[in-house]
Amino acid sequence: MALVNIKINGQPYQVEAGLTVLEAARACGYEIPSLCAFNHGKCSLASCRVCLVEVVGARGLVASCVYPVNEGMEIITNSPKAVEARRASVELILSNHEKNCLQCPKNGHCELLHVAEMVGARDQKYVGEMTEKTVDEVAPGIIRNTAKCILCGRCIERCKEAQGISILGFENRGFRTIVAPVQNRSFAESPCMQCGQCVNVCPTGALMEKSEIEKVDEAFKAGKKVIVQTAPAVRAAIAEEFGAKIGTAGTGKMVAALHRLGFYRVFDTNFAADLTIMEEGYELIHRIKNGGVLPQITSCSPGWINYMEYFYPEIIPNISTCKSPHMMMGAIIKSYYAEKNGIDPKDIFVVSIMPCTAKKYERQRPEMANDVDAVLTTRELAKMIKRAGINWNKLPEEEFDNDLLGEYTGAGVIFGVTGGVMEAALRTAYFVLKGKEYPLVNFQEVRGLEGVKEAEIKELGIKVAVTSGMKNAKPLLDAVKAGTSPYAFIEVMGCPGGCINGGGQPYVHPTLLPNEDADILDTYRAKRASVLYSEDERQVLRQSHNNKDIQKLYKEYLGEPLSEKSEALLHTHYNANREKYPNK
């Protein structure tokens, strides 16, 4: 690693060659205000001008987020000229910003408020006409409010880098410029996956998930039996909302909080993840043995399904017909569970706590028959806990309710990370095809956070692939469409890294996480993934087919995987006729 010698505010340092001034300064212990750099490693267009510094010999001030260091460079971060310029930049941004901070859903996580405090922004320094406001609340998962947008471009870059579809861009020119889908359309009128990756990187409240907390409140008021389920990835991140370091497991305290919020039953979606493996695994085996359409592609990620219907409807025959785990759970709660407990399904209100904004759309699909009534993100659950005055740090460790649907295996836990669905399926497929358990349990070949992982499972005589993020998935999907894919099974997740990095997870912005290392953007996904893999290792049962409650469900109610009742309750279909973007 080549090093260069620089000076910052008169102090000598050695830093890695190729860093920007902003990166070098942070590595040396200086925090320069910035609104564009923390975009999962991708800086946008240096458009906010908040990170201006002086560089000796340069003409005027430079944007530190894009200006590279070089040998002998002298940087001054705290000169009166730089300090005043940064303050003026923030004040100009604030002059065209909706300032209802107390009511803003981003309160407590707003980077604009953070830098305004850093630079000492003055109240109403610049006052004038404001850009006309657009509020898009039509789409099920995401709300867009241009009055809170600062035109940093982070959402534009994130959509491009993660999904490769560039839903968002700069519309209009000059003072009328906004960030929007083309022609300022609603997200509902564009090929948006509703994945929420743009929400995760927005520094203000311009992009937010569409809250369904009020729906849950109304269900409680109506006297419904409000049953909650939590996705595996939620436990890997929820503690971050209460000051814990990234990588802290929050399972027991989360369950305790849900009990104290008054839910009738607190279930783990991992149960339905095991159920998904039984259905999806047997579906794969059926296709292999009977000459069905291959490769089979997973269907657990609604963001990915949205993308497929927009851009690859030709491969619908390849997609597993299984509903996602939380939708299966909702269907089982309102049928099997209700019947066994003598409850009218109309009196049940199912709430899913998910790491994903796309699942808000998924639950509203007409094919889903109202299996789930409301979807809350990890962030929304944290808001409910804080609203109730529950002290997270004083909560005990409690267990999920064990009422017909309580047991889960390690295979269900790892659904939340890329490669987890594949590994869980392989564990059961091996047992079904070989008549014995896979002795190593773990399939290391499909683990890791790479965008694409390919493996030959010699024990089963098949090739498989795992991908996350649609930009990474596209080459695999192109091969499937062309009929040249060599794989029998492909796992696709909409968000890079899987559900641990979903659009409803806690924000990861280093400037707002003082207890974390500076390189947290390079490691946060791995730290969250480690929570799930550790819980998998701790489970006595680690293969879905060994789940005793799943075995009982089939024996007493479903019959067998892919039975007529299973097909009716647990499987779905996809729509090749969704309105396409005209310039796709």
Q: What is the pLDDT of residues 72-105, one digit of tens each?
A: 999 999 999 999 999 999 999 999 999 899 999 8
| Given the residues 491, 499, 516, 544, the one annotated as active site | 499
Topology (CATH) of 214-570: Rossmann fold (3.40.50)
The confidence score (pLDDT) of residue 190 equals: 93
In whole angstroms, give the CA distance from residue 220 to residue 84: 52
Q: By percentage, how much of the chain surpasses pLDDT 70? A: 97
* Contact yes or no for 540/409 (Cβ under 8 A): no
283 part of the active site: yes
> 227: phi > 0 → left, psi -120 to 50 → alpha, else beta; which?
beta
Q: pLDDT by residue (tens digit) across 231-240?
A: 999 999 999 9
362 part of the active site: yes
* Contact yes or no for 238/380 (Cβ under 8 A): no
* Contact yes or no for 356/500 (Cβ under 8 A): no
* Contact yes or no for 217/262 (Cβ under 8 A): no
101 part of the active site: no
User: In CATH, what number does 95-208 get?
Assistant: 3.30.70.20
* Contact yes or no for 78/62 (Cβ under 8 A): no
Q: Which candidate, 135, 320, 321, 337, places its Cα nearest to that of 225?
A: 337
Q: By percentage, how much of the chain surpasses pLDDT 90? A: 87
320 part of the active site: yes
Domain ranges, ordered by start, for the chain: 3-86, 95-208, 214-570
Q: What angle do CA 423, 426, 431 make, to 5 degrees?
A: 135
137 part of the active site: no
The confidence score (pLDDT) of residue 306 equals: 95
Residue 127 burial (CB count, 10 A): 7
In whole angstroms, give the CA distance from residue 93 to residue 13: 33
In CATH, the architecture of 3-86 is: Roll (3.10)
* Contact yes or no for 197/167 (Cβ under 8 A): no
Residue-by-residue pLDDT tens, the chain, 584 positions? 799 999 999 999 999 999 999 989 988 989 899 887 655 545 556 778 899 999 999 888 999 988 999 999 999 999 999 999 999 999 999 999 998 999 998 998 999 999 999 999 999 899 989 999 999 999 999 999 999 999 988 999 999 999 999 999 999 999 999 999 999 999 999 999 999 999 999 999 999 999 999 999 999 999 999 999 999 999 999 999 999 999 999 999 999 999 999 999 999 999 999 999 999 999 999 999 999 999 999 999 999 999 999 999 999 999 999 999 999 999 999 999 999 999 999 999 999 999 999 999 999 998 887 999 999 999 999 999 999 999 999 999 999 999 999 899 999 999 999 999 999 999 999 999 899 999 999 999 999 999 999 999 998 999 999 999 999 999 999 999 999 999 999 999 999 999 999 999 999 987 777 777 767 777 999 999 999 999 999 999 999 999 999 999 999 999 999 999 999 999 999 988 665 433 33
65 part of the active site: no
| Given the residues 64, 299, 301, 320, the one annotated as active site | 320
| Given the residues 362, 380, 407, 491, the one annotated as active site | 362
DSSP conformation letters of 127-182: ----PPP-EE--SSSEEEEGGG-----HHHHHIIIIIS----EEES-GGG-EEESG
| Given the residues 54, 283, 309, 491, the one annotated as active site | 283
| Given the residues 225, 323, 359, 360, the one annotated as active site | 359
| Given the residues 65, 110, 300, 495, the one annotated as active site | 300
499 part of the active site: yes
300 part of the active site: yes
